[in-house]
Amino acid sequence: MIQPQPKIQPLISRRTSGLKGRIKVPGDKSMSHRALMFGAIAIGETRIKGLLEAEDVVNTAKAMTALGAGTFRDDEGVWHVQGVGVAGLQSPAQPLDFGNSGTGVRLALGLMATTPLIAQCIGDASLSKRPMGRVTKPLEEMGARFEAAEGSTLPLTLHGAKNAVPIIYTLPMPSAQVKSAVLLAGLNAPGRTTVIEPVATRDHTERMLQAFGARITVEEKDGARHISVEGQHELTAQEIDIPGDPSSAAFPMVAALLSESSDITIENIMLNPTRTGLIVTLLEMGAQIEIKNKRVSGGEEVGDLQVKASKLHGVRVPAARAPSMIDEYPILAVAASFAEGTTRMDGLEELRVKESDRLAAVEAGLQKNGVLTQSGPDWLEVSGGGAPGGGKVATHMDHRIAMAFLVMGLASRIHVSLDDSSFIATSFPDFVGLMKGMGARISALEVK
């Protein structure tokens, strides 16, 4: 069973100058998913402010309700989650529909894997093409069993472990989703479950589990991070205030850098060091980005970003930086097309298995709009100097591809159009409205 697709929404963006304003982007997507899930297995009622109310996260909330947790949104926009304890999840009566969200389904598989329940997980056409084997493999070692479609894709049925066992698992490639799935499974397994990551990935799971009272330790050994959790200890409900998503902030930030005479401020952005790779890279490229009002909120570094139009130059982005900006490469590639010189990005193999083959989709979109590129299995090289534009981009049901090329159109010599923008709602429902509010020229494209 695959959910019906939303109505196609073609858009066109045109050259714009002078973006202005103070804006707020939606709450961080990674933290939103985790706050709902951790609240669902905590004891007591978790209250969440600033939750990202996009389709992906709402689908996670619905899944937690179907598993037995109570979730509702009050009139002030605060979400309440009544938890059932680490062993309290129940078999859902209907398939759990995760829509477009790889994070939602992969973390949920870990959450459910060590509880003796049965659940079918489904998603939209895009999610149903994405591989789940990298998550199901370690969870099978812990005692879970899976029935998946060919290629280890959705639809997938999970049979949770009746006698779960803890494991020590070394990540074969950097993946916060796989790490998180194993740690969440470890919460209901006896003893100590350990994940070893040779390359550090975003650490929201570790930080938030600590806030919920999990017995979790993080150590550096022989150049790798060892994250361990003691199983079968209850979590305690929390008050969570979610800051703005840096992956969503990336699009108005680059738009301001590329559009002449622009000066915007993006308020209350999460600045976790495992998520700031794009800011670091743009600063190396000559971007005028100033972090103001830096503070700590809910265990995370937070600040406001003042961004001004800038002349950028090409750089080489090391593979080691990829985990801290894996979702931002589409918009970085757009920025690179307007920089002076060539930008090379290494370590991009993960982009092959995102909502689309993002690496191929980004390169095709650049070439459609007159940008010279070269690529390999895990790298992309973009020749700068400005995008002529004029191309129609195939978004492949990928929200980040859609937003990145709308930003390109704001700085290209000719407009840029999209075949569809409907999937932007999975992470940033009011993206077009927010951009137009700053002066961006984005409009509907008539379908002939």
| Domain 29-241 belongs in CATH node 3.30.360.10 | no
Residue pLDDT, tens place only, 239-251: 999 999 999 999 9
Q: What is the DSSP letter of 428?
A: -
Summarize the confidence of residues 411-424 as an average pLDDT.
Answer: 95
Summarize the confidence of residues 371-386 as an average pLDDT.
Answer: 96
9 contacts 201 by C-beta, under 8 angstroms: no
C-alpha closest to that of 31 among 17, 16, 52, 13: 52
To which residue do tokens 């790490």 refer? 179
Summarize the confidence of residues 214-223 as an average pLDDT.
Answer: 96
135 contacts 145 by C-beta, under 8 angstroms: no
Q: At what angle do helices 29-40 and 55-66 cross, to 10 degrees?
A: 10
Known catalytic residue at 327: yes
Q: What pLDDT, on a 0 to 100 scale, did the predictor assign at position 150? A: 86
Domain ranges of the chain: 11-27+243-444, 29-241
Q: What pLDDT, on a 0 to 100 scale, did the predictor assign at position 6? A: 60
Mean per-residue pLDDT of the chain: 95
Backbone angles phi, psi at 278, to 5 degrees: -65, -45
pLDDT band at 2 (very low <50, low <70, confident <90, very high): very low
Q: What pLDDT, on a 0 to 100 scale, did the predictor assign at position 386? A: 96
Residue pLDDT, tens place only, 42-92: 999 999 999 999 999 999 999 999 999 999 999 999 999 999 999 999 999
C-alpha closest to that of 399 among 19, 21, 26: 26
Summarize the confidence of residues 132-161 as an average pLDDT.
Answer: 96
Q: What is the largest CA-CA distance in the chain?
A: 62
The reported pTM is: 0.86
Among the listed residues 56, 327, 398, 420, the single catalytic one is 327
Residue pLDDT, tens place only, 26-37: 999 999 999 999
Neighbouring C-alpha atoms within 13 Å toward the C-beta of 77? 9
87 contacts 232 by C-beta, under 8 angstroms: yes
Residue pLDDT, tens place only, 221-236: 999 999 999 999 999 9
| Same fold flag, 11-27+243-444 and 29-241 | yes
The residues, ordered by sequence, that sit 6+ positions from 367 with a Cβ below 8 Å of its Cβ are: 373
| Domain 11-27+243-444 belongs in CATH node 3.65.10.10 | yes
**DSSP for 40-109, written as a single string:** HTEESEEEEES---SHHHHHHHHHHHHTT-EEEE-TTS-EEEE---TT-----SS-EE-TT-HHHHHHHH
Q: What pLDDT, on a 0 to 100 scale, did the predictor assign at position 447? A: 60
